[in-house]
Structure 1
Amino acid sequence: DYEVILVDDGSVDGTGDLATAAGAKVVHREPPDAGSKAHAMEAGVAATDAEAVLFVDGDCLNLTSAHLDEICRPFVEGRAAMSLGTFDYGFWNWLVLRSPPTTGERIVPRWAFEAIPPEKLDGYTIEYIINGVIAERRLPVTARVMRGVTHRTKRDKLGRLEGSIETARMFGHVIGVPLRGLVRFRAYWYYLRALTIEG
């Protein structure tokens, strides 16, 4: 069994209404609480008692249920403690699959998310933190390319100027992750050793 939970993080385009009409449970977050991806994920986890959680970003393009089935299968079959789906970058897929994963499309056991200290539930580094929880325990991971799937950029969503500023801020935050000790090379080594690339 499964349930679909949508965290409406202050949207103004009727997303919550569409999700409700489709049968999803909707969790509304309004400013000033809205805006933090990690806190939105936390709200979604709090809204269910499921033992496993599949996180999916709301800005994916061409994503289908078949892609999600492919992500979940290794986890459900017990072959992975975390299973990831990455966007389709064409030639660069081989590199993306072997880099510290930042993809939002992943299934993890509930305990892996709840193991994150509250003070680390902030900014754009939540995926790195989840990676570390799994890697430090040396648990198996699978990853695959979601063929044909891309996403809307911040410039698409916010306009050229504001979107470019937000993109620069995000990359600055992510680039600084190793300097802040959030990506430990030992954990990354454990991740690579435990990784199986599928598809």
Structure 2
Amino acid sequence: MSVAAIVPAYNEEQTIGVVVQALLSCPVIDEIIVVSDGSTDDTVYVASAYPVKVVTLPQNVGKGGAMKAGSANTSCNVLLFVDADLVGLQRSHIEALVEPVLSGKTAMSIGVFSEGRVSTDLAQKIAPSLSGQRAVRKDLFDAVPKLEDSRFGVEMALTHYAERHGVDIVRVTLPYVSQVTKEEKRGLIPGLQARMEMYKDIVRSMLPDKKAHDEDYNEE
């Protein structure tokens, strides 16, 4: 099985380089794809300095759309998604997250922060299903309906779909990993506004959609 690491990024020039370097250090990763989701800073410029594929979306379509664009640009059968604003990501974390899927133990694994920053650790302990760090079989990911419209609700949509289809999701502890908060990146008020928009996306992803129909997926 081959693994593509996909990094959706929106204005992450400060941290994208460190995340890409961690991914490049891991031999289990066959391909790295950075998806710039309408970034207006130097995210594309920084990412392009590394031997990775950079997909540039002209407009911001949201995290779900960026992740779908990443999947559409690879033929690897395992997808590893990591956030572009991570702090402390190491090769050991990447290998631990991918291993349950590569070994056939599960079709999806989710990374949960531990022993990092109190705020990010607490958020993930309360709602681990919202973690942006996960490995998933490509056929499972591609079968989830309407991910391109889910924006920040993408992780909840992925988790709920997997659970409905009998996937035994494996949670992997990621010690000493955290991420830069929206308030730190954008300032207090704009960051809080962005956080509220994120929560709205998550809530929308939890509401039933009578028009959505699941694609066929069978875990083998």
**TM-score (normalizing by structure 2):** 0.72
2:5 matched to which residue of 1?
A: none
- Contact kept in structure 1, 2:82 and 2:133, CA below 8 Å: yes
Deviation at 1:79, TM superposition (A): 1.0
1:43 aligns with 2:66: no
1:188 matched to which residue of 2?
A: none
- Contact kept in structure 2, 1:97 and 1:144, CA below 8 Å: no
Which ranges in structure 2 are unaligned for 5 or more consecutive residues?
A: 3-29, 210-220
2:45 matched to which residue of 1?
A: 17
2:187 matched to which residue of 1?
A: 159
Change (3 A) 1:8 1:176: closer
SS in 1 for 2:84: coil
> Per-residue CA shift, 1:28-84, capped at 9, x if unaligned?
0122xx140000001101111111110111011111122111101111111111011
1:124 matched to which residue of 2?
A: 152
Number of residue pairs aligned between Structure 1 and Structure 2: 179
1:63 aligns with 2:89: yes
2:103 matched to which residue of 1?
A: 77
Change (3 A) 1:111 1:121: farther
Matches within 5 A, 1:1-199: 1=2, 2-31=30-59, 34-88=60-114, 96=124, 99=127, 101-118=129-146, 121-175=149-203, 177-178=205-206, 180-181=207-208
SS in 2 for 1:146: strand
Tell me how far apart the structure 2 counterparts of residues 45 and 128 of structure 1 sit (CA, whole Å). 18
Amino acid at match of 1:59: D
SS in 2 for 1:87: strand
- Contact kept in structure 1, 2:156 and 2:202, CA below 8 Å: no
Tell me how far apart the structure 1 counterparts of residues 64 and 133 of structure 2 sit (CA, whole Å). 14
Which ranges in structure 1 are unaligned for 5 or more consecutive residues?
A: 183-199
Amino acid at match of 1:68: I
Deviation at 1:154, TM superposition (A): 0.9
Change (3 A) 1:22 1:132: same
Tell me how far apart the structure 2 counterparts of residues 134 and 172 of structure 1 sit (CA, whole Å). 22
**Percent identity among equivalent residues?**
28
Amino acid at match of 1:70: A
